[in-house]
């Protein structure tokens, strides 16, 4: 038999409910940025791009996929820059040896 106090909401503990109307928008944005390391932006994308990412997203959210694609692009660019620098250094060393 269940006790009258078995419900998690029956302990008479006050519940704090906060909505966006209760907080300062810039303060909320700052707190969100600090906690998640993300910034809210507005960006214009081609319809075909948005449709493609929404189709790929499934249950995760297309914005997450776009963010991951951008991150991978940045990493690939950095790797290319590193490779270019290595090639330049090797060429300089070889030219010095001649």
* pLDDT tens by residue, 34-70: 777 888 889 999 999 999 999 999 867 899 999 999 9
The structure tokens listed for 18 are: 């906060």
Domain with 28, as residue range(s), is: 20-97
Q: Where are the beta strands (DSSP E) in 2-96?
A: none
Residue 30 is predicted with a pLDDT of: 78
Residue 11 is predicted with a pLDDT of: 62
Tell whether 47 is covered by a domain: yes
Tell whether 1 is covered by a domain: no
Q: CA 38 → CA 35, 41, 61, 67, distances in Å?
A: 8, 9, 15, 10
Tell whether 12 is covered by a domain: no
- The number of distinct structural domains making up the chain is 1
Q: Is the pTM here over 0.85, yes or no? A: no
């Amino acid at each position: 038999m269940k006790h009258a106090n078995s419900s998690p909401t029956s302990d008479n503990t006050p519940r704090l409910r906060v909505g966006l109307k209760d907080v300062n928008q810039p303060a909320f944005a700052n707190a969100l940025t600090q906690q998640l390391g993300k910034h809210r932006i507005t960006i214009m994308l081609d319809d075909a791009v948005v449709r493609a990412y929404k189709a790929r997203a499934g249950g995760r959210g297309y914005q997450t996929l776009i963010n991951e694609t951008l991150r991978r692009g940045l990493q690939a660019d950095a790797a290319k820059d590193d490779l270019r620098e290595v090639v330049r250094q090797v060429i300089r060393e070889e030219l010095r040896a001649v």
